[in-house]
Amino acid sequence: AYLTPPRALSFNTQHTSQKMGSTVDETKFNVKICCIGAGYVGGPTMATIAKYAPDVKVHVVDINPKQIARWNSDNLPIYEPGLDECVKAVRGKNLFFSTKIDEAIRECEIIFVSVNTPTKTYGVGAGRAADLKNWELAARNIAKVANGPKIIVEKSTLPVRTAHSMRKVLMANDRKISFEVLSNPEFLAEGTAMKDLAKPDRVLIGGMTTEEGQKAVRKLCAVYERWVPKANVITTNLWSSELSKLVANAFLAQRISSINSISELCEATGADVQEVAHAIGKDTRIGKRFLNSSVGFGGSCFQKDILNLVYLCESFGLKEVAEYWDQVVKINDH
């Protein structure tokens, strides 16, 4: 989701000259939002918010000037059906792309963090745990430059209880500025992301159960409820929201692993795996989706999130649970 090269991990924003929408009539905006990370999740999500909530001013910021330049051009850095039209309809009105991260943090009350959290390649948890260095860098920068209370929204896929650690980082500022951390995981599928955002099955928002935590939850709910039915906006505690993203991907990956394993049995017995998938998919308890046998998972997210889940289970001493989910990956490596 965060397309900045790994070497560019500094939050120095002195090199930019983009305007922060200063020529726009500020009186028409009731809420100001920024998203740190102009990638596959941050760009489309913020464009959708800007489209359906014209009274919300939206900044998308990134440390990569080339990435931002493309968002401000006719050649967007990613392709999704409907994205180009959506961006062009609201860009310069209530949607702005910039490298001025510090300015956006100071101006906005709700700050989405949508940075890359790849699988660790070194140290404890290498090959399984999520690497949170980009998230921590973003949190430390927010704590350093914030000029008042902020609502921080986890948009990246993160391990359970990451919000607790990030809150500690944010609250360690020497100016006693308060922060509320929310979890708002994305459930986008490549190729249908804009449709998923316009008419989501659900929007999940997790927050602390304190009075201030619930106040922050309601504020973010109100943004989505400008176009999403209230019944589709689900609120939970922080930990449930963080875990739900990993579990959703794990369950979908499990279906792919299951049908892939059955394909081997079909080959051995003379059955047709497509016919078997069609037959069981007619059972309404099972359904027809994610029953196409294929090589692996068809992408990196499922395996990354399952390995994250495995590491999480191992960390809590849940050996049998960890082994169960690890097998979902192994059957596709087989």
Within its chain, how far is the Cα of 109 from the centroid? Answer: 19
In this prediction, residue 298 carries a pLDDT of 64
- Give residue 303's pLDDT band: very low, low, confident or very high (50, 70, 90): confident
Q: Which range in 11-20, 164-173, 239-248 is most confidently predicted, on average pLDDT?
A: 239-248
Residue 164 has pLDDT above 70, yes or no: yes
Residue 141 has pLDDT above 80, yes or no: yes
Residue 160 has pLDDT above 80, yes or no: no
- Give residue 273's pLDDT band: very low, low, confident or very high (50, 70, 90): very high
In sequence order, the 6+-apart residues with CB closer than 8 A to the CB of 28 are 54, 55
Q: Could you tell me what percent of the chain has a pLDDT over 70?
A: 89
In this prediction, residue 118 carries a pLDDT of 65
In this prediction, residue 127 carries a pLDDT of 76
The pTM for the full model equals 0.84
User: Which residues form the catalytic set?
Assistant: 301
Which range has the worst mean pLDDT, 111-115, 175-179, 315-319?
175-179
**What is the residue whose two structure tokens read 């078997």?**
276
What's the DSSP call for residue 122? S
Distance CA 123, CA 125 (A): 6
Asked if 276 contacts 167 with a C-beta cutoff of 8 angstroms, the reply is no
Helix (H) or strand (E) holding 24: none
Q: Is 123 exposed, middle or buried (0-12, 13-18, 19+ CB in 10 A)?
A: exposed
